[in-house]
Structure 1
Amino acid sequence: MPISKHLITSLYISLLLMHLLVEAKDEEMSTNVDRAGGSSYVPRMNCAAACEARCRLASRQNLCKRACGTCCARCNCVPPGTSGNHHLCPCYEAMTTHGGRRKCP
């Protein structure tokens, strides 16, 4: 029973498409760059949970969580504890408001 040319062609095209999709996914993962300028893939952290823990003692929790969420989304980092420790997350520490005050809680 001979194999038709159409079957061979369709198999070849589907293998080619799968190869291109795998290459595109590998390239996407290798081009994810962290804020420090490295070229390794860094998984995104759970900003909601990290900011919930960071802001649990704040007097204005909604404001704290909103600012923390913005900083976390940009830096992919939230310092441990409820305050301080900014030196452990340099990007988080460097962000300021228009008035020159620290943006991140």
Structure 2
Amino acid sequence: MAGVIRSHTSLVLVLSLLLLMLAFADIAQGYNKLRPRDCKPRCTYRCSATSHKKPCMFFCQKCCAKCLCVPVGVYGNKKSCACYNNWKTQEGKPKCP
């Protein structure tokens, strides 16, 4: 009976570690692979520290809809999402906040 309990405990431990690794992989990708419905909450957080909320939300949601990712945090970290980072205005400035 003790062998069965150990094997179940080992299985639970391995599965828990696997789930934890998957969770960290999503975080490490900077919120990549979003669904379009995930854009608004991610952009709400991304734009929470700015005093220009309306334009930030507009452009963040536009970028998220195209790129399906929003960088981690309220500022910077754009390198985690290449599409979001590389989309520029006609003047060559970053389009995405």
- TM, length-normalised to structure 2: 0.63
1:16-67 per-position Cα deviation (integer Å, ceiling 9, x unaligned): xxxxxxxxxxxxxxxxxxxxxxxxxx66150000000000011100000000
Does 2:76 align with 1:98? no
Larger proportion of helix? 2
Deviation, structure 1 residue 71: 0.2
Q: Partners in 1 of 2:60 and 2:34 — Cα distance?
A: 18
User: Which runs of 5 or more residues in structure 1 are unaligned?
Assistant: 1-41
Equivalent position of 1:84 in the other structure: 76
Query: What is the total number of aligned residue pairs between the two structures?
Result: 64
Distance 1:52 1:79 in 2: 12
What is the alpha-carbon root mean square deviation over aligned residues? 1.2
- Percent of matched pairs sharing the same residue: 41
2:51 and 2:92 map into 1 onto residues whose CA distance is 22
Does 1 or 2 have the higher relative contact order (CA < 8 Å, sep 6+)?
2
Structure with max Cα Rg: 1
Asked whether 1:56 is paired with 2:48, we answer: yes
Aligned to 1:14: none
Q: Which amino acid aligns with 2:35?
A: R
Instruction: Give the whole-Å Cα distance in 1 for the aligned partners of 2:96 and 2:58.
Output: 9
TM-score normalised over the length of structure 1: 0.58
